[in-house]
Amino acid sequence: MQQNILASLANGAIEQALELARQWTAAEPDLAAAHRTLAHVLARSGDIAAALVALDLAAALAPEDAGVHHDRALLLVREGDTAAAQAALGQTLGLDPNHLPAYLAQARLAIGLDQLDEATRLLRTASRIDPDHPQLLALDGLLALRLGNHSRALVLATSAAKALPDDPQVLSVMGFAHAAQGQLAFAEQAFRRVAGLVPDARPLQPLLARLVAAQGRADEAAALMEPLLDEAAAPTPALLRVGGIYALQGGRHDQARQWLGRALDARPGDTEALRALMALWAGTNDQEDARATLERLLQVDPSQSMAWAARVALEQPATAAAAEVLARWQEAMPGHVPALEAAFFNADRSGDLEATRAAAARLLEAVPEHPAALQFEVESQLVEDPDTALARARQILEAAPEGAERDAAGAWIGRMLDRVGRTGEALAQWQSLHDAHRATRVPLPELAPVPEAWPALAAIGPDASRPLLLWGAPGSGVERVVDTLAASGARLLTDRFRPNPPQDHLQSLETGPALAAGRVAPDQVVASWRKLLPARGVDRGQPIDWLLHWDNALLLALRPHLPGGCVMVALRDPRDMLLDWLSTGAVLPLQLASADEAARWLAAVLGQIADLRDQELYPYLLLPLDGVVDDPVALATALGQALGAKLQPAARVPRRLPAGRWRAYAGDLAGAFATLTPVAVRLGYAEA
């Protein structure tokens, strides 16, 4: 439909384009793209007011679509220029090749239709007529935004603002350019000025709310959305979803429940709204509301796969209740692969070998090469005929594509070798995986020497920050702690392990040695951490910051400048940690050149943890995970007791090697374990 509309516009058939655009919005009233296209056609016809109405509806349907707001900026021109633009569109440039308003009007239309090459040509021609015209600069800035040149857009808009300090279009370009460069406070300031200049600022509220939320003020973002979400305002499901997510992030649980519930009632297939509601239910432990809501959704539309998965997750695995929900899911969606997978995993957890074999067969019938079902078949053969099973596993490995899938198959073969007691072969298999990736992994961080004296631990003021700094060495299972905290709705910061991490001193693996050598000031370390907290979504409360690395030298900064903090360390028997690192890898992909080298580094870093505890260098909390790392319920209970809070268990994940498994490798790893045993004993583990 859109192509037909654009073709009509290109042929000058405005009325035909209008008719097609109105047919599209009538056929798909909830599609933002349809209303956005109608706005372009209305603007071309000269009906700017109607175009703004269409764009406002598009913004309500897609409140986070920056393109809609860009289009709105095109129409937010001063009244005098609107008339000039309308006149320009009715002229033929051939009659007056130097008529600047005509070029600007056509460039606006080209940008609105994403015809950026044409817009570039028109603005280049216009610049020969009057290169410093403020409207030209503003449009050129908006074009630069569309082309991704944000710094140029800001320079152009700033120049235009000297002549047009209160022009909504100019301010909008400045706002978008600031936002694109991460200067969120300046972007917010620009759009608040726009809101004060236009007759109706309501369409700007979702954009302002997004900027405010990105600065860690989710509660304020929810308040900005509130007037738009009153039932009398007839909000769209998208607006309700966005507002509900802000309310959830801001701790407004009742409001979040109301808005997200209304969003799902209006659009049962809204997976983002459902995902947010699931997070709310997990945080409030309101299983009764979760069951009732999901059952209502599934009654309305039994083809909602995510709703079925969420409904199954409310039941304990391997129970009659879980089996009943799974049976209903498979009846509602026969042959649906996620339902077959869920039934297979549920049977596997039950320990019923025959039921698991039948579920695996059904899954393989639907997906002949399904990895988990194939793995089950091979492992079922392992006890009776290990050589045949391992040969088949190696065939699967050879067929796997390079990358994560092939690595997973290699690690799996290592675990099977472990199961049949071929420990030397298992170690060789795991080491080969580390060797294959050594060039792309991070060298083991250097640890700073122990200082001659520690700075005094400062007094904790009544308003002092009380963050928890979470860390675990490779093999500790710290990621299971993270999963549990996340499932419980904790104020957990995991962005250090994701793209675009915070660039503070705690992100650098070299900060400890730099502090010890005097290359970085202790107060700068804490100041850089505090400065980035708002952008990371923390404005108050007690955040839990998951660190990449720990070095006791960090205490040179933390003792005097962050005395209210607490280091929370995930821990297991160091020898099991080494074995886990070899077999599973680590969240932070560190180089593991050999077991002996890894053991020396692990002994040193865990020795620092023992020093931290024995000398009481800083508030700490040790989290021994031996025996609970594979049991989400037991882990949530143990972690909750340590933190003095009731926590929700995370979803089940593949099992690690069991606690104490290191003893089976005592001969193969004798040297490495000799290095680790002294620190293991210091931390309370048995010598042998």
Instruction: Give pLDDT, residue 66.
Output: 64
pLDDT band at 508 (very low <50, low <70, confident <90, very high): very high
Instruction: Give pLDDT, residue 97.
Output: 53
pLDDT band at 94 (very low <50, low <70, confident <90, very high): very low
> Any idea which residue has 């089950």 for tokens?
376
pLDDT band at 400 (very low <50, low <70, confident <90, very high): confident
**pLDDT, tens digit (0-9, with 9 covering 90-100), for 2-33:** 788 878 877 778 888 888 888 888 888 888 88
Mean pLDDT of 69-92: 49
Mean pLDDT of 177-187: 89
**pLDDT, tens digit (0-9, with 9 covering 90-100), for 138-176:** 889 889 988 889 999 999 999 999 988 988 888 988 998
Which is nearest to 314 in space by CA: 303, 325, 298, 305?
325
pLDDT band at 85 (very low <50, low <70, confident <90, very high): very low
Is 664 buried (19+), middle (13-18) or exposed (0-12) by CB count in 10 A? middle
- Give me 37's structure tokens: 């296209």
Q: DSSP label at 664?
A: G
pLDDT over 90 for what percent of the chain?
57
Q: Which long-range contacts (CB under 8 A, 24 or more apart) does 103-108 make?
A: 103/129, 104/135, 104/136, 104/139, 107/139, 107/143, 108/43, 108/74, 108/139
Q: 395-424 burial, b for 16+ CB within 10 Å, e for fewer?
A: ebbeebeeeeebbbbbbbbbbbbbeeebbe
**pLDDT, tens digit (0-9, with 9 covering 90-100), for 477-487:** 999 999 999 98
Instruction: Give pLDDT, residue 260.
Output: 95
pLDDT over 70 for what percent of the chain?
95
Please, what is the average pLDDT of the chain? Answer: 89
- Give me 228's structure tokens: 């738009």
Instruction: Give pLDDT, residue 88.
Output: 40
Domains of the chain and any CATH numbers: 1-62 (1.25.40.10), 66-215 (1.25.40.10), 216-314 (1.25.40), 468-682 (3.40.50.300)
Q: DSSP label at 442?
A: B
**pLDDT, tens digit (0-9, with 9 covering 90-100), for 531-547:** 999 888 886 668 999 99
